[in-house]
Structure 1
Amino acid sequence: MNFSEPEIRTVNVTRYVTPLREGGSLPAIAEADDGFKYVLKFRGAGQGVKALVAELIGGEIARALGLKMPEIVFANLDTAFGRTEPDEEIQDLLKASVGLNLAIHYLSGAITYDPVVTKLDPLLASQIVWMDCLLTNVDRTARNTNMLMWHRELWLIDHGASLYFHHSWSNWEEQAVRPFAMVKDHVLLPQASELEKVDERFREILTSDRIQSIVSTVPDEWLTGYGEDMTPQEIKQVYVQFLTTRIAQSNVFVKEAQHARKSLI
């Protein structure tokens, strides 16, 4: 299957605009030298670089599956940036985040998806639920949907809570074949009636070569603190193997999602 490899641009942050305090890691709206605004995710935040790894891999998988995802860029933060910031907490965060961070294109005027107001097509709902089961994304609930409506279309944001296996690196093989029990709390599960149809199509799209291509975009400098004597390339291969194993055994998480859905409807 032909596909184009992800092309992640790199920008330089020029202005810190405002913090987004509803996020636990204090993301911020910032301007870059390309003239655009971005939601900036900091490497020095509490979740560390693993949240950026999950954000990058999850976002690019969403894009590969044809779901709407704002552009992801690498964002350089200079050592001089933030010296005039009066808020000490933010200044400490900026100092800890010098170097390569991650940013998402800011969708000006977008509003948070409200499941009460907007009902999604069952196919689209099923696509998002399937992907979140693959990624083990625990953060797409009614309390925090991490979806936006922009120009009457649904856009996905914030995959930093995905791939939580990498926080306990030693048993990733076991976690790769587990069902995703947290799907019971997924905000779109009641509408996800076409999971088997989506499963067949998405397994065709997410080939091992495509997964390898997406994971290869992760900067080597982010692959630290894994508690193992492994090179960045070896760590990337664990991500590839985790994802390809889950895709190969997707019937496990599809059945779990279908079972959880039956208990809701």
Structure 2
Amino acid sequence: MNLRLHAFMCQMLWIFTVLNSKAVTGAPGYGRNLIIKALPPIEDYQSNVYEVIMEPYLYGLGEPYPITGDRSEKQIDLAGYRTHGLQAIAYLKADEGSGVEGTLIFTQVVPNGPVTIEGNVTGLSPGLHGLHIHQAGSIKDDCLNIGPHFIAYYGRHGGPRDQIRHVGDLGNIKAEENTILNVKIVDHLISLAGPRSIVGRAIAVSSSEDDYGRAGTEDSAVNGTSGPAVACGVIGYFH
């Protein structure tokens, strides 16, 4: 009888806690929201794809990150938090003497959270150039064997903010005449761990602008008609 009463009181305490939005010591997982990400269906190609995620704890910390305010704002605020989370790096090497080189650092503070890409690229011709994660990290003397864009969930090519896109579609970077291109991108689909992990794959800069699949051609739906890679590098963990 005492055991049943104890179980009943625990259940009532849990309900009271949730309804009143107050954390109680010993309530496992409280303070972390359940997030459902969805990719819409593509007729005759792909059904709905759903990813269910519980807002996780910071890497290397035994406490949850702040749960007040909008989730996207919290993730931005965490850029200066007291841990670096996971980090990866890629050294871009020129393809066939293009002269394009650079270094890109990837940082993910929160598991399943956004990844920040920062670094610099030199040697690019002025204008927009596509930036993509490719399926394979097979780089020897050129970028011919890195494969197609990293897809993960299938779907057609798109822009970084499109609902339907390859995981590896990071959009465009813009180079100016005779200046070093400083890159800073925040992407919410790529990851440094799990099924969407880009570690061990290649990142490549294309010769031309990515049209985000808007041109209505076969090439546009596959790679945004962004042309061949002028530089590429394998993504590896920083530490």
- TM interval, shorter chain, is under 0.3
Higher Cα radius of gyration: 2
TM value normalised by structure 2 = 0.24
TM-score (norm 1): 0.23
- Which is strand-richer, 1 or 2? 2
Greater helix fraction, Structure 1 or Structure 2 = 1
